[in-house]
Structure 1
Amino acid sequence: MSRSPVSATLTATDKDELLQAITTIKEKLPFLIDLSNEERKALPKMGDKSRAFVSKALEVATQNPEFLPRSFNLEEMRKDVQLFEALYPLLLALTQLQELVDDTSLAVGSEAYAAALQVYNYAKASGQTAGLDAVVEEMGQRFARKSRKSKPQAATL
């Protein structure tokens, strides 16, 4: 797959404005929660198939509240469904944005690393490393292999 290199800059002002926009988004969603991995795994998930089921269940409960126990909070269910439906397009938009930022960051990081490798190889090969020996050696530490520690031998009786 061929792609053109990313050639762009992000000014400090633009970066600050973007971070402020993210802060504003968080402020507009004060009810957001942070689940642990265990909590996330334990929760039943509402996917595309479940959305129709939940919608139908809400309609049934709304039209026939008499069979529900008094402890069932129909209004809370309605709020949960409405909030989910309101958050869903935000989730899609933010997921797409995150994928674009991830891909762009990966691409420009790769471009920067490839350029750094060229600089390192040119500096090593030039023979004119006077004054650069320490820097080239320091850069070379990136590729140094760590020695494997020998396994302790079990004592024999």
Structure 2
Amino acid sequence: MITKNAVSIQFPEADLQAVKEALATLKTILGPQLIALSPSERQTVPKMSDGTLPFVEKVMDYAQSDNQFLPPYVDLQELEKDWLAVKELMPLLRDLQQLESNLNDTLMMAGSEAYVGALSYYNSVKYGAKVNAADAKVIYEDLKQRFDKSANRASN
């Protein structure tokens, strides 16, 4: 099984450390301000989308310039804070989503390439064990556990 080597990367340790530090900084700065919703909350909360943004922006303009129609239960200052948070965080989220998507795709492809290479090695060892090549049987017996159905059922 010959495959195209789509991923051939190696990060210097200093770069990986810098990325870890940058992530730690993001967690330190953003973490205390962020919330986590439960799955049921995520389903029930009204969601703002790209089509909703212009509507909310217009409402904000009207509410700030002509607040006579603002219901008494709506706190304009809190509404302004929420809108500012959306405007400030949305570009960050988009950048992170692009990075996460590319990171996920790179990891998926590198994993696929590593797995295909490992399967090729395994098949070669399997053939070596079949023809009694030196050391092949021990390696094959160890590696075949991955595919042994009875061992997989027992570990699940």
TM category, shorter: 0.7 to 0.9
Deviation of the 1:28 alpha carbon: 2.1
Deviation of the 1:19 alpha carbon: 1.2
Determine which structure has more spread, i.e. the larger CA radius of gyration.
Answer: 1
Deviations 1:55-92 (A, max 9, x none): 11111211221232444210111111111011111111
CA–CA separation in structure 2 for the residues paired with 1:129 and 1:61? 81
1:140 lines up with 2:144 in the alignment: yes
Q: Name the structure 2 match of 1:96.
A: 98
1:120 lines up with 2:122 in the alignment: yes
1:13 lines up with 2:17 in the alignment: no
Judged with a 3 Å threshold, the aligned counterparts in structure 2 of structure 1 residues 4 and 115 are, in CA distance, closer, same or farther, namely: closer
Q: Name the structure 2 match of 1:152.
A: none
**Contact 2:122 2:140 (C-alpha < 8 Å) held by counterparts:** yes
Alignment of 1:1-157 (within 5 A): 4-29=5-30, 30-126=32-128, 127=131, 129-146=133-150
**Contact 2:125 2:140 (C-alpha < 8 Å) held by counterparts:** yes
Query: Which deviates more, 98-107 or 5-14?
Result: 5-14
Q: What is the TM-score normalised by the length of structure 1?
A: 0.83
Query: Which deviates more, 137-146 or 41-50?
Result: 137-146
Q: Over aligned residues, Cα RMSD in angstroms? A: 2.2
Q: What is the TM-score normalised by the length of structure 2?
A: 0.84
CA–CA separation in structure 1 for the residues paired with 2:122 and 2:68? 76
Deviation of the 1:4 alpha carbon: 4.8
Q: Write 1 or 2 for the structure with the bigger share of helix.
A: 2
Flag structure 2 segments of 5+ consecutive residues without an equivalent.
Answer: none
Matched length:
147
Query: Which deviates more, 128-137 or 33-42?
Result: 128-137
Judged with a 3 Å threshold, the aligned counterparts in structure 2 of structure 1 residues 52 and 39 are, in CA distance, closer, same or farther, namely: same
Helix, strand or coil: the match of 1:113? helix
